Chains A and B, each alone.
Chain A
Amino acid sequence: MSVRVCMQYFLPHLTNDQETIEVEGKTIRECLENFCLRFPNARRWVFRADGELANFTDVFVNLKSTYPGELDQPVEDGDELFLMLMLSGG
């Protein structure tokens, strides 16, 4: 499956300001793993050390929440996967 990872509301500098990145995977976890293989600096913002989703990161597929059990949910070809960083500061 090919999905698009959307970075507008995450940390776009991690992808050199590319707003969307095409990745392959059958589940959200696989997609994000592949995403982090291409952009290794993103790993610490996406995953915790134990491999679960980082505390301050949320994932939406086609603008719909994936909570709970985000990482093991399946994705379909053409899905859009939004990463969102928790609001903080200010």
Chain B
Amino acid sequence: MAIPKGYAGHVAVINLTDGKAQVMPTDKFWRDYGITPRLWLGGDGVIAKVLWQDIKTAIDPLSPENEIVISTGPWTATAAPQAGRSMLGCISPETGGYSSGSFGWYFPATLKFAGFDVVIIRGKAPKPVYVLIDDLDISIRDASRIWGKETGETVKMIRADVGERYEGEVRVLSIAPAAEHLVLYSPPAGDATSCPGRSGGGTVMGSKNLKAVAVRGTGEVPIFDGRGLLDASYRAVKKFQAEEPTLKIWETEGATTDLSVTASWPMNGHELGINRANADFPHLKNAGCLNCHAPCYHWLQLKEGRHAGLRQLGGHMTYITTALRNLGFENFDDWIYYERLTQELGLDPASFSMAYAFAVDLFQKGLITTKETEGRVMKRADPDLVWDLAQAIAYRKDSFGSFLADGVDKMARKLGPEAIKIMPQTVKGKPSIQRDSKLQALMWSFGALTNPRGGDWLRVHNVWELAFLPENRDTYPKYINMTNLELYARCTELLDMPLDLKKKIFGDPPVTNANWVRNTAGKALFTVWTEDFVGLFNCLVTCMFGAAAQFMMVGFGPTTYAENLSKITGWDVTYDELMKVGERSVTLQRLFNYRNKGWDVKDDRFPDEESYKPGSVGIYRGKIVPWEQILKEYYEIRGWTPQGVPTRAKLKELGLESAAEELKLTA
């Protein structure tokens, strides 16, 4: 088959055990893996196909059998909006199931400029190495001198080693000490900055003695209709700027995450703008990945205090909220140092801060003592203690650091039932980002239950409920000159969704109000739609934040993606077709976990029984949240059995008959 436009044309398969690298045409790779590109696009879709074929049973995630799959998509490195992203997939060291994470900055685009759509890395090197992809030339190089270095220094050393001719010519996806010491939640970092967070991919790289993948790319990506793509891309960004009601807060304050943050923005984020304005480089403001119209990296500078001299390209809300809520930091300088430190050490901020917060809870309740903590008095709001423990975890310096390095789930199970009872919200072995989201937002919480990689809500990230919380205050009018009801009326109208589907979710006529937010009707269907939509982002690959889910999901929708992708590839793709791509990818990830791990309805469950008892607090106002009922409805909508397994009919509809055959699924 001919390779469509939008693809770079090659796939690299690197075996670290024997030190050999194979470069094959992308169409040969597709044939080998049974991939029809229009059905899977790239990113998560391709990762799911590769892992499905290559890893057919449960494995030790830290064994050489695990694979790292870096998969861009036809969207990556084009003139389409937010075209700087790639997915990185593997078997998760935290869960043992399917895992992937999205990352950006300039590694993904440069990989395509080098000529590669996908890089698969197998085996284990006998000693530390890094891979250099220099256009189509691949070499495996000694990394003994670099092993042990933090991410910033690693990037500098590799760039010097390969003879970078100008800054940024060589892009480096590298691991840090935490991954080298097999901390179970370590992501790699692209240019010490952008991480496929929550994937555990850094840990898997560490288990393979793979310090980094560096890439230099001087080619270009073929486009079917370049001028048409520029027009479509320009229109998309203009539409975003004209219609996104929360854009003002982003423009004035640089909010870098979902709408809910605007409620507490004066407390959480206002200092970002102040810091930026007072830096020595105030003109720089924000930076972003390739073609981003909502760039989320802040150029920050700490001029005074204990961290004076620190310059950080960041200020991302995940770091700020986890630092505030899980670590108890209220100081801006500590937030920013925490971001830099965890990026340098390779610690996932969510899993790390949840492990820390859980350790404080265990200590307070006497389930661990200074004997276990090696003399540490565990408490929040103690930056020095956090810095100390971050080092102890990243290097597994002592038994307590090593205990936290295995993450919340394993910590709880080592200590027994009393610890399990108080553990933070965790699903399938992976903790969430904050202590207990299910108290407030049904869809976000539900997304943690059904997320193939477990734990977090980032495969839904549906902010529709959050924007109404608390529904009675003046949060939004202050920023956007609309009442909450006006905001919802506008967003319900703009949401890129067929009217009949809107009616099923929001009623006829479609209306979002406090009553809708507090009830469960339509939530399962909206969750399914959103998961498929996010699944689409992760196949294209583009950014979930910024384009849609970050705000009220009205900036871009499947129609925008269809217009742009048609110009990139020459395919006449439609809304329905693209939503099916998302569904197909989500379904195969689900099937992968079912086949390899046996995960089904019993695993789509919060571990604490309190979640299933009447009297839950939250927006459901004193009544039990019927998780099981919503899950049943979700399965029915998806075409899955009551046990949560995709049916043969659904798999046939998605072109996955061979998977149904392999698993001998009944009709």
Residues of A within 8 A of B (CB): 8-9, 11-13, 16-19, 41, 44-45, 53, 55-58, 60, 63-65, 67-68, 82, 84-90
Contact = CB atoms under 8 A, between A and B. Distances in A.
B457 interface: yes
Given A55-B264, A63-B616, A64-B621, A86 B440 contact: yes
Interface string B97-120: 000000000000000000000000
Nearest to B357: A12
B616 A17 contact: no
Contact of A88 (B321, B474, B615, B621): B321
Interface stretch (B31-39, B322-330, B575-583, B654-662): B322-330
B433 A56 contact: no
Contacts of B621: 64-65, 67
B364 interface: yes
Contact of B470 (A8, A55, A64, A82): A55
A13 B264 contact: no
B174 to A, nearest CB: 24
Contacts, number: 114
B617 A89 contact: no
29 contacts: A12-B360, A12-B380, A13-B330, A17-B360, A19-B364, A45-B267, A55-B264, A55-B475, A56-B263, A56-B267, A56-B470, A63-B616, A63-B617, A84-B617, A85-B264, A86-B260, A86-B263, A86-B264, A86-B440, A86-B470, A88-B317, A89-B322, A89-B434, A90-B257, A90-B258, A90-B318, A90-B322, A90-B350, A90-B433
A67 B470 contact: yes
Closest 8 CB pairs of A and B: A13-B328, A89-B321, A13-B380, A13-B381, A90-B433, A56-B264, A89-B317, A65-B621
A61 to B, nearest CB: 10
B439 interface: yes
Contacts of B457: 90
A64 B437 CA distance: 17
A86 B263 CA distance: 8
A56 B322 CA distance: 16
Given A87-B466, A88-B466, A90-B257, 20 more contacts: A9-B435, A9-B439, A13-B327, A13-B381, A19-B364, A55-B264, A55-B474, A63-B615, A63-B616, A67-B471, A86-B440, A87-B260, A87-B441, A88-B257, A88-B260, A89-B257, A89-B320, A89-B322, A89-B434, A90-B433
Interface in B325-345: 325, 327-328, 330
A16 B379 CA distance: 7
Contacts of A58: 469-470
B40 interface: no
Contacts of B328: 11-13
B622 interface: yes
Which of A17, A56, A67 is the most central at the interface, judged by chain B CB atoms within 10 Å of its CB?
A56
Given A63-B622, A89-B257, A17 B379 contact: yes
Given A65-B621, A85-B325, A90 B317 contact: yes
A87 B469 contact: yes
Interface of B: 257-258, 260-261, 263-264, 267-268, 317-318, 320-322, 324-325, 327-328, 330, 350, 360, 364, 379-381, 433-437, 439-441, 444, 456-458, 466, 469-475, 615-618, 621-622
A68 to B, nearest CB: 5
Given A56-B264, A84-B440, A90 B364 contact: no
Contacts of A87: 260, 434, 437, 440-441, 444, 466, 469
Nearest to A67: B472
A32 to B, nearest CB: 15
A57 B263 CA distance: 10
A86 B317 contact: no
A56 B471 CA distance: 10
Given A13-B381, A17-B364, A55-B264, A89 B466 contact: no
A88 B617 contact: no
B376 to A, nearest CB: 14
Greatest chain B CB density within 10 A among A44, A82, A90 is at A90
Contacts of B440: 84, 86-87
A64 B436 contact: no
A86 B470 CA distance: 7
A53 to B, nearest CB: 8
A60 B621 CA distance: 9
A88 B444 CA distance: 11
B435 A88 contact: no
Contacts of B441: 87
